[in-house]
Amino acid sequence: MYALDSRSMGPLDCFVQKITESGDFIFEIRGAAAGFCPLDEKAAARIKVKANKVSRAQQRTSGKQHHVPVIFNKGVFEAVSPPKELMQGDAILFHPSDPDLPSFSVVGRMGKTEFSSTELRDQTVFSHPFGLPGKYHWADANGSGVGGVIVVENEPATGKEGAERAMQRMAEGVLVHIIGDKVKPQELHIATGQTVFFAVEQTDGITITDVTLLGRGKKAR
């Protein structure tokens, strides 16, 4: 399995951005190594965002989610059939269309607000499936001190009922909620194959990164 690192979106990772500003939603999809480079607005895709008259609080819990597959075509990352128009309060989910897709990142802005899968800021989600058992310590590579632990355990799958229960649990996503420097839960126990959704709000730009990639700790086992 590929490493836990929101700076480098793997073949089963997803990135979701809530549309909080009206005007233009501008984005680029790039190779992971170029994720920290400034946005090239001339080359970026552009979607019009209509203003929503409902309150900000209502926008946080409403709106449509638009799925945008990502492909790699002749050396270039592309978004497949992105929406032509968005409503303030909608969300866009970027996901790989191919398990062999190279690692990628998403950067952009909406109105004056910048966003990036390499630096998760506000009303954004990064998801990652855990395919191997072990204890995974994660941290913010930018040094904010935010971090936590994911404990992945094999689900007993004896007999038909056990196998069905294991498959059902694998299909259930689990949430880690990050608001500023607060992480809930700090330690999470899941079954092998489950996906964790890291929902991020009100940060200055954090990453979800396995500490072994930062030269700290031991690999999960």
Picking from 74, 91, 118, the residue at the C-terminal end of a domain is: 118
Question: pLDDT by residue (tens digit) across 137-147?
Answer: 999 999 999 99
What pLDDT is stored for residue 155 in this prediction? 77
- One domain, residues 157 and 95: no
What pLDDT is stored for residue 4 in this prediction? 96
The model's confidence at residue 220, banded by pLDDT at 50, 70 and 90, is: low
| Residue positions counted in the chain | 221
Residue 36 clears pLDDT 70, i.e. is over it? yes
Average model confidence (pLDDT) across the chain: 90
Pairwise CA distance, residues 29 & 64, whole Å: 21
What pLDDT is stored for residue 33 in this prediction? 82
The average pLDDT across 169-176 equals 82
Question: pLDDT by residue (tens digit) across 64-98?
Answer: 999 999 999 999 999 999 999 999 999 999 999 98
Domain count, the chain: 2
- Give the residue with greater pLDDT, 36 vs 71: 71
The model's confidence at residue 163, banded by pLDDT at 50, 70 and 90, is: low
Per DSSP, the chain holds a count of helices (H) and strands (E) of 2, 17
- One domain, residues 98 and 160: no
The average pLDDT across 10-15 equals 95
Check if the beta carbon of residue 129 is closer than 8 Å to that of residue 194. Answer: yes
- One domain, residues 99 and 5: yes
Domain that residue 186 falls in: 130-221
- One domain, residues 168 and 200: yes
Check if the beta carbon of residue 108 is closer than 8 Å to that of residue 44. Answer: yes
**pTM of the predicted protein model:** 0.91
- One domain, residues 46 and 80: yes
- φ/ψ of 187, rounded to 5, equals -130, 130
Picking from 118, 150, 176, the residue at the C-terminal end of a domain is: 118
- φ/ψ of 2, rounded to 5, equals -85, 160
Residue 162 clears pLDDT 80, i.e. is over it? no
- One domain, residues 95 and 169: no
- One domain, residues 31 and 88: yes
- Closest C-alpha to 140, from 198, 91, 191, 219: 198
- One domain, residues 151 and 108: no
